[in-house]
Amino acid sequence: MNVLIFGATGMVGRGALREALLDPGVERVVTVGRRATGQQDPKLKELVVPEVADLSSIEGELTGLDACLFCLGVSSVGMNEEKYTRLTYDLTLAAANTLARLNPGMTFAYVSGAGTDSTEQGRTMWARVKGRTENALLKLSFKAAYMFRPGMIVPLHDITPAAPWVRRTYFVLKPVLSLFRRLFPNQVTTTELLGRAMLNVARDGYPKPVLETEDIEKAAHSGGDDGR
């Protein structure tokens, strides 16, 4: 399986990249972002672009791909709806439309979030925008598309959040994160489990297109002979 990853320098993306590089069923990993991950691996090819929404300069490198793990995301804190829509809906759909045209047999896995509003009508701004993004992705001409809605994510294997304020929050919560994971297994996942779940679903599918934290847990442990 040849895998494309967006957002491989962020917390979720770094987890997905780690699992993809370790997975014996993954032959090639391509990352797209505004900066390189700094990692080196025979499987890995990194494509650095000034604007992720415009992939025209690298389209020739984006064919023959079986799956896309779209892990890009920004916090809505301090943003109005117009700006958050531009960085969430517009950017994601610009990239996804290009990929659907170049790889109609691709499976697209999008990292959304717990509480996303599929009706697009709720009071919470970020949830409406995420819901609109999910709905649009599900209509594209991919082989399949899956929406991943993790709740709290525990970073493992020395992975840390990219945003300083999120990193500080995780530092404060670190002593109790493992406890949260044990007490609330249907609300808390890890970067490892989320990465493995996306790969397993890209390879084998899943009974429904939207995966909540409980589904992510199941999918992470569903890998066959090709998985880890």
Q: What does the pLDDT look like over 18-72, one tens digit per residue?
A: 999 999 999 999 999 999 998 999 999 999 999 999 999 999 999 999 999 999 9
Q: What does the pLDDT look like over 93-146, one tens digit per residue?
A: 999 999 999 999 999 999 999 999 999 999 999 999 999 999 999 999 999 999
pLDDT, position 225: 44
Residue 165 inside a domain? The answer is yes
Q: Are 147 and 211 in contact (CB under 8 A)?
A: yes
- Cβ count within 10 A of residue 73: 21
Enumerate the β-bridge partners of residue 149: 212
Percent of the chain with pLDDT over 90: 77
- Cβ count within 10 A of residue 85: 18
163's CB contacts (< 8 A; 6+ apart) are 75
For residue 136, the enclosing domain spans 2-220
Residue 91 inside a domain? The answer is yes
Instruction: Return the CATH number at 193.
Output: 3.40.50.720
pLDDT, position 158: 75
Rounded to whole angstroms, the Cα distance separating 130 from 127 reads 5
Ranges of H-type helices in 26-163: 81-85, 91-102, 125-138
Residue 28 inside a domain? The answer is yes
Q: Compute and round to an integer the Cα radius of gyration of the chain.
A: 16
Residue 227 inside a domain? The answer is no
Residue 164 inside a domain? The answer is yes
pLDDT, position 55: 97
pLDDT above 80 for 195: yes
Rounded to whole angstroms, the Cα distance separating 149 from 101 reads 26
Residue 168 inside a domain? The answer is yes
pLDDT, position 173: 65
pLDDT, position 46: 97
Residue 225 inside a domain? The answer is no
Residue 226 inside a domain? The answer is no
Q: How many domains does the chain have?
A: 1
Q: Supply the pTM of this predicted model.
A: 0.89
**Nearest Cα to Cα of residue 130 among 117, 139, 142:** 117
- Cβ count within 10 A of residue 15: 27
Ranges of H-type helices in the chain: 11-22, 81-85, 91-102, 125-138, 164-183, 191-204, 213-220
